[in-house]
Amino acid sequence: MKIGVVCDDYWHPGTLIKAGLEPLSELGFSFQYIHHASEWSPAWMEQQDAVVLAKSNQISASDKTPWLTEEIQQQFRRYVEGGKGLLVLHAGTVGYRDQPVFFELVGGVFQHHPEACPVKIAYTDKAFGLAEEQEGFSVHDEHYFMEVTDERIQVFMTSESEHGTQPAGWQREQGKGRVCVLTPGHFLPVLQQQEYQAAIRNALHWADGAQG
């Protein structure tokens, strides 16, 4: 399964994302990483079975200029509606509030987070149509507070800390394709935690399932 990964910004190094995703290569995922927005193209995107967006709205770690133009927003929508999968991971929700096409496609964006703290992750529904019971887990992470369009998403995971409870994972379909969002993952131990690795793996399989 070919997975294109768009990553790297000031707060979320691409090397960290790669270290968090590479263990999944043993399960048949082949990742291709883009660290600078100039490397993105519609042709590159169409070659991927699914795309992981783990990059805030910045061209690169050294250039905080927004990268998500109207043209790129439309391409993301066409990509999904044509039957492909999109996983928006942690930083991929940041800085996109004023991009309406993308906001609508994803179903929610980052608002703010308190200082990193203990966070409990719980499944509120059986995610991705899986029959087995899915166990919650705890992490030390940034607790993302989100602005979501409730009527457009199916929340299957929540995050709870002393600061409150938030949606931490949701899924939706648009056209022939699928979108999944997972908000945890600022620190490498979170990305590499066994339970969260399972969540990412299942999200990628579910997002790609629209093609089957």
The string of pLDDT tens digits covering residues 156-208 is 999 999 999 999 999 999 999 999 999 999 999 999 999 999 999 999 999 98
Q: What percent of the chain has pLDDT over 70?
A: 96
Whether 80 contacts 179, CB under 8 Å: yes
Q: What is the C-alpha separation between 175 and 157, in angstroms, rounded? A: 23
- Report residue 100: phi and psi, to 5°: -65, -35
Q: What pLDDT, on the 0 to 100 scale, is given for residue 135?
A: 82
- pLDDT average, residue stretch 44-55: 97
Kindly state which CATH superfamily the domain 2-211 is placed in: Class I glutamine amidotransferase (GATase) domain (3.40.50.880)
pLDDT at 130: 58
For 126, other C-beta atoms within 10 Å of its C-beta total 12
Task: Please compute the mean of the pLDDT values over residues 131-153 and round it to a whole number.
Answer: 88
Q: Convert the pLDDT of each residue in 65-117 to its tens digit.
A: 999 999 999 999 999 999 999 999 999 999 999 999 999 999 999 999 999 99
The pTM score is 0.95
